[in-house]
Structure 1
Amino acid sequence: MEIRLEILTSTSIKQKKPWPRVSWLGKEKEAVFLLDDKFINEINLLSGKIKKKIPSLQPFLKDVIVLTTSINDAWLAGVLTTGELFLWNKDQDCLKTIPITEKPKEMIKATVASSLRPYLYVSGNGKRILLITPGCIFLWEYLELKSILSSKSLSLVGRWSQVIPEEAVLLPSIEDKEAVVNAVFIKNEATQVLFINTLNFVTLCGSLKGCSNKSRVVPAALIR
């Protein structure tokens, strides 16, 4: 099979700072963004010019610990030094905040104090967020039936749950500085399934059952 590719435009990033990620944010109003853990800039591919300020995000970026995008690039999510999370939808320029409970907040502060970074993953619809810190896994789920974009409140109503594996399963600790973590949300007709993988450590898989599951702990039987 032969695939022919055509170069439509090329540009030079007029900055000395390296950017580890390039992302097409938005599904209806796409734009190209340069990202690292704490900064995000929009780039014009024709001119190479960088737009350094995104008005909706500016109040939050000065306190960002880590930034991430959903796999479909519909959402940008971030963790703040306060422990609070935010979600931004580029198409609607819709910004929402997510309050955090005491346990994940403490773990975020401990992670930052150890000069490490938490891992953050967001589902394609923005309704589930996974937060991973050394030794701990937390899941946030949006509880309202209406979509996040139709919510008139700045702060989203949701529930935090901690994933607790069996005692025999060891999660990466603060000392495991070379551990690699990755996660993906997979949606089928009935449920959303979450897979977590930390290199040489643990794999978690199973149905999260969405908002119908009132248990705050993911059963150990789903962890292997």
Structure 2
Amino acid sequence: MQEQESLLLLDAPGKRVSVLYVPSGKTKRRLSKITPLVEQVKCFTSTRNGRYLLGLLNNGELFIWHKDKDISKFIAGFDRLVDDFSEENFHINASDSCSHIFVSVGNRQFFLWAMEKGETILRDKVTTLKGTWHEVSVPTGMELPPLNARETSIASVFYENVSLGQCFQCSMVFNSDCILCVATEPHRGSLKIFYEDINLPVFTAEWSLLQYPFQQMHAEFEPVSTLGAYVSAYSSSGQVLAVAANQRFPSRTTMLFVSPLTDTVLVGGMGNCGVSNVTKTGRQYWVSDLAWTSDNLFLAGILKNGSVCLIPRLGDPVAIATDGCSVTMGPSLFLPLHPAIFVSGNDGNLEPSAEECDPMRQQFSVATHPSLPIVLFSDGFLVTVAQLPVEVTSVTLMRGLVLESAKYLKKLAAQENLDMTVADAYRLSRGQKGSKQNLSEVANREKSGKKRYEFEMAEVSLNATNESEVSIIETTNRFGFDQFGATW
């Protein structure tokens, strides 16, 4: 249980890694096998399930570390494939089992690594992993981001499809004249070819390009060509790519939900980023990071001023409230959980200030638990762990919306003396009391039947972690998790 309830905390700019034990709130920072490696990385990340940590070292090797077994492996030979290994913009991602690894070098070179049959990370005696590197070709005429496009945002995801099997997608978001471009490299059910022909030097992928005019995003949308202009994140199912398009004025900042599989775009608002005065400008109101919840129902976000928000899938920000650990806020669309500390003003300037280049600055990020409704917000110094209500699911959310809309339609029908031709939701013809009774009957039937999914109840015994720190623990809620705020 202790292994299953631990999470990796990553600080890429500061090159720090810690392990957080969720039920107790304690963090372990001294990781003997990993700390020396992290200090020599160009980039690093963790798998979606939180089990593995992987990174690209300065000597051209890749390392993989199993968090629960404390086993590290190395993959050699990557530096010989890259034209310019001194490139600073690297992106790395891996499948949950680390059998496939994707690495992009800038905006021009893309590589996939596949583990050979019979290889396993759990074999402790062997330090190297055998596999094959494949370069992904880019078709002639495919529009990719220019080398100087600093606004480019890269997001990738490995996912399982019932019909296609193991799939992979990588998307790049960038500006092109008056159009937003999303270039996607899809591998739909084709990862199996690495096992069939390991001598294949180049893998040919069918790229796709989605173009969306700026004017359809916002009537006064202006392209921004600076670092952090776009922030993107894939849902774990690979169906939706969320793109936050930051603007000079917070009232123009939009959220795009892109489906590369169907080439469709849904535009949503960002509620002025919580700013009442729409004339204010500056990077402090930009979206800093995004993360999907484990069920892909909500998108958690944090701004550069430390305010956090929760966005339903394909929707706009909803009002949220917090309680516990003396953090009682809301309800509001944006909550200042980690207020930003500004030494000098940077209003109106969209370029990163000297303050943002300070290694000791606040670095706002958000992450989610791979299987539980838990969101972690951080400013680089403090981590706030927020637990969403377990009963909030897609079914209950839609049921509530249908019930509210049915009540409103019934009220309109009574006021205007209309004849309703559609059956009432949850048999509202019995009246409000009858509808509640019907909902109760539905809930009882669900409780009596076998549940499809169950959350593991965490043990409170995970508080004996050495070399760790913990903040004050208050009470344990009815779901088995302590209300706490973990320091880092």
* Same fold (TM > 0.5): yes
Q: CA deviation at 1:191?
A: 4.3
State which of 200, 207, 232 in structure 2 corresponds to 1:215. 200
Q: Distance in 1 between matches of 2:165 and 2:4?
A: 29
Q: CA deviation at 1:144?
A: 2.9
Alpha-carbon distance change, 27 to 203 in structure 1, aligned in 2, over 3 angstroms: farther
**Unaligned runs of at least 5 residues, structure 1:** 1-25
What residue number does 2:32 align with? 55
Match runs of 1:1-224 below 5 Å: 28-37=3-12, 38-43=15-20, 50-107=27-84, 109-112=85-88, 117-134=89-106, 135-150=108-123, 152-188=125-161, 191-199=165-173, 200-206=181-187, 207-208=190-191, 209-213=193-197, 214-220=199-205, 222-224=206-208
Q: CA deviation at 1:45?
A: 5.5
Alpha-carbon distance change, 70 to 43 in structure 1, aligned in 2, over 3 angstroms: closer
Alpha-carbon distance change, 56 to 34 in structure 1, aligned in 2, over 3 angstroms: same
Query: Could you tell me whether the CA contact under 8 Å between 2:119 and 2:129 is conserved in 1?
Result: no
Q: CA deviation at 1:79?
A: 0.9
Alpha-carbon distance change, 47 to 210 in structure 1, aligned in 2, over 3 angstroms: same
Q: Distance in 2 between matches of 1:45 and 1:101?
A: 36
Q: Distance in 2 between matches of 1:120 and 1:43?
A: 23
Letter of the 1:111 counterpart:
E
Q: Distance in 2 between matches of 1:165 and 1:212?
A: 22
Q: CA deviation at 1:54?
A: 0.5
CA distances 1:22-70 after superposition (whole Å, capped 9, x unpaired) = xxxx994432332122221234567766432201112312201211011
Letter of the 1:193 counterpart:
C
**Taking structure 1 as the reference length, what is the TM-score of the superposition?**
0.75
CA distances 1:128-179 after superposition (whole Å, capped 9, x unpaired) = 1000111110111111324321364101111111101111113334312211
Alpha-carbon distance change, 63 to 186 in structure 1, aligned in 2, over 3 angstroms: same
Q: Distance in 1 between matches of 2:25 and 2:41?
A: 25
Identity within the alignment, %: 26
Q: Distance in 1 between matches of 2:79 and 2:43?
A: 19
Query: Could you tell me whether the CA contact under 8 Å between 1:29 and 1:90 is conserved in 2?
Result: no
Q: CA deviation at 1:102?
A: 4.2
Specify the SS of the correspondent of 1:65: strand
Q: CA deviation at 1:188?
A: 4.2
Query: Could you tell me whether the CA contact under 8 Å between 2:7 and 2:50 is conserved in 1?
Result: no
The Cα RMSD (Å) is 2.5
Specify the SS of the correspondent of 1:111: coil
Query: Could you tell me whether the CA contact under 8 Å between 1:170 and 1:201 is conserved in 2?
Result: no
Alpha-carbon distance change, 138 to 173 in structure 1, aligned in 2, over 3 angstroms: farther
CA distances 1:74-105 after superposition (whole Å, capped 9, x unpaired) = 21111111111100111111110111244444
Q: CA deviation at 1:180?
A: 0.8
Alpha-carbon distance change, 149 to 171 in structure 1, aligned in 2, over 3 angstroms: farther
Give the aligned length.
Answer: 193
**Unaligned runs of at least 5 residues, structure 2:** 174-180, 209-488
What residue number does 1:10 align with? none
What residue number does 2:388 align with? none
Query: Could you tell me whether the CA contact under 8 Å between 1:136 and 1:171 is conserved in 2?
Result: no
Alpha-carbon distance change, 36 to 217 in structure 1, aligned in 2, over 3 angstroms: same
- Which shifted more, 143-152 or 80-89? 143-152
Specify the SS of the correspondent of 1:150: coil
**Taking structure 2 as the reference length, what is the TM-score of the superposition?**
0.37
Query: Could you tell me whether the CA contact under 8 Å between 1:171 and 1:201 is conserved in 2?
Result: no
Specify the SS of the correspondent of 1:59: helix
Q: Distance in 1 between matches of 2:74 and 2:53?
A: 12
